[in-house]
């Protein structure tokens, strides 16, 4: 039977599962917030479906559930660096955020670098945490080799998400957040579990031929969005959020991890920019000018990215979220058996 839960109830349940599996308070609470936010906002590919993968990664010893991230001494005022100490990215982001925002307000632009973190999450929760502070945000990270470069035939780039946010005083921010592959890999796995064929153009098989079979796609390679354009943006993310920050690129992650069935460990780059500082001395209020642009987009009948998500959030906050029978049973199983419930 399906089960409807309030958001606080779901978050408490997810946190209890993660603590039962041996994660400390800092890791489990940050992860529970981001996983619950995925369900709340109708982003199933990064909601409770990710719990099992996180526990499998913990059981395999590829992530530290007891990690306490640490802010490292600054080499440059514009760069805040957090060592995730082999834990998940979200608690590391949370401890670095206040200093990132302070430096971005002060300098106009600042970066938060998170190193040595396991990353399975959507990026928009981090983008929104920055826009909530009146700053614009650009966030990106590699993953593991699973995407063929445009014109290539085998996995090399990651699904490398990139997300941007612009603060809108008194309204939800403008936010987009997407993989640089046609879709997130989680979507392919969800299609496989549901026995549904993929749309054409998402993936190729291990012989480099187009496929709509999710299993063949997982064994082959995903395709970048927009052909050579997505391929170039994916490569930029490898450079900025891998090479430049002294962390692993997606092919290196796969070499170290040896599988695409566990959550990957690498780094993450979060840029915070102050529109007020950049526009100072120029005519016009940047926030008012941005609103005119958004109105013009909507005036053509187009929707802004994240509007679907914000509508799902409003519904979930008032009515709760409904889990399928299989999802509710899976949560019960994970809570009852902890790491024994996963391979």
Residue of 3, 45, 154, 212 interacting with ligand PYC (CB under 6 A): 45
Annotation marks residue 181 as catalytic? no
Annotation marks residue 46 as catalytic? yes
| Least gap, CB of 179 to ligand NDP (angstroms) | 4
Query: Buried b vs exposed e over 175-190: b needs ≥16 C-beta within 10 Å?
Result: bebbbbbbbbbbbbbb
Q: Please name the residues in contact with 321: beta carbons below 8 A apart, sequence gap of 6 or more.
A: 4, 5, 7, 10, 39, 40
**Other residues' Cβ atoms within 10 Å of the Cβ of residue 199:** 11
> Is 143 an interacting residue with respect to ligand NDP (CB under 6 A)?
yes
**Other residues' Cβ atoms within 10 Å of the Cβ of residue 340:** 11
The H or E element spanning position 39 is helix 25-40
123 binds, among ligand PYC, ligand NDP, none (CB under 5 to 8 A by kind): ligand NDP
Helices and strands counted in the chain (H then E)? 13, 12
> Is 120 an interacting residue with respect to ligand NDP (CB under 6 A)?
yes
261-320 residues in contact with ligand NDP (CB under 6 A) are 303, 305-309
| Least gap, CB of 105 to ligand PYC (angstroms) | 31
Annotation marks residue 45 as catalytic? yes
Using the minimum distance from each CB to ligand PYC, give the nearer residue, 24 or 45: 45
Contact 241, 267 (CB under 8 A): yes
> Is 29 an interacting residue with respect to ligand PYC (CB under 6 A)?
no
Active-site position among 187, 189, 238, 268? 187
> Is 56 an interacting residue with respect to ligand PYC (CB under 6 A)?
no
Terminal alpha carbon distance of the chain: 26
| Least gap, CB of 233 to ligand PYC (angstroms) | 15
101 burial class (0-12, 13-18, 19+ CB within 10 angstroms)?
A: buried
Binding footprint of ligand NDP on the chain (CB under 6 A): 43, 45-46, 119-124, 141, 143, 159, 161, 163, 176-179, 183-184, 187, 303, 305-309
Give the footprint of ligand PYC on this chain (CB under 6 A): 45, 120, 143, 159, 179, 184-186, 264
Report, as residue numbers or ranges, the catalytic residues: 45-46, 187
């Amino acid at each position: 039977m399906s089960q409807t839960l309030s958001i606080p109830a779901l978050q408490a349940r997810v946190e209890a599962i993660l603590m039962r599996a041996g994660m400390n308070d800092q890791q489990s609470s940050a992860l529970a917030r981001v996983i619950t936010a995925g369900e709340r906002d109708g982003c199933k590919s990064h909601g409770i479906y990710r719990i099992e993968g996180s526990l499998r990664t913990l059981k395999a010893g590829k992530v530290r559930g007891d990690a306490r991230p640490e802010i490292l001494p600054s080499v440059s005022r514009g760069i805040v660096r957090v060592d995730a100490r082999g834990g998940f990215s979200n608690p590391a982001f949370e401890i670095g955020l206040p200093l990132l925002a302070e430096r971005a307000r002060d300098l106009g632009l600042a970066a938060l670098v998170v190193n040595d973190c396991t990353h399975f999450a959507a990026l928009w929760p981090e983008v929104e945490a920055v826009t909530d502070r009146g700053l614009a945000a650009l966030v990106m990270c590699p993953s593991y080799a699973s995407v063929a470069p445009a014109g290539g035939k085998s996995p090399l780039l990651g699904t490398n998400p990139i997300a941007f946010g612009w603060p809108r005083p008194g309204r939800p921010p403008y936010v987009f957040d997407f993989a640089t592959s046609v879709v997130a890999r989680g979507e392919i796995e969800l299609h496989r579990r549901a026995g549904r064929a993929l749309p054409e153009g998402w993936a190729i098989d291990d012989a480099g031929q187009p496929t709509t079979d999710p299993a063949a796609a997982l064994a082959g390679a995903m395709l970048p969005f927009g052909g050579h354009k997505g391929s170039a943006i994916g490569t930029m993310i490898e450079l900025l959020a891998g090479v430049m920050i002294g962390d692993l690129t997606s092919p290196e992650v796969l070499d170290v991890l040896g599988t695409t069935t566990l959550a990957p460990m690498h780094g993450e780059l979060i840029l915070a920019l102050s529109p007020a500082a950049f526009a100072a001395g120029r005519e016009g209020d940047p926030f008012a000018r941005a609103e005119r642009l958004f109105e013009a987009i909507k005036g053509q009948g187009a929707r802004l990215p994240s509007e679907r998500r914000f509508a799902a959030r409003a519904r979930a906050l008032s009515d709760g979220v409904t889990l399928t029978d299989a999802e509710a049973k899976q949560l019960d199983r994970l809570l009852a058996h902890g790491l024994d419930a996963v391979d």
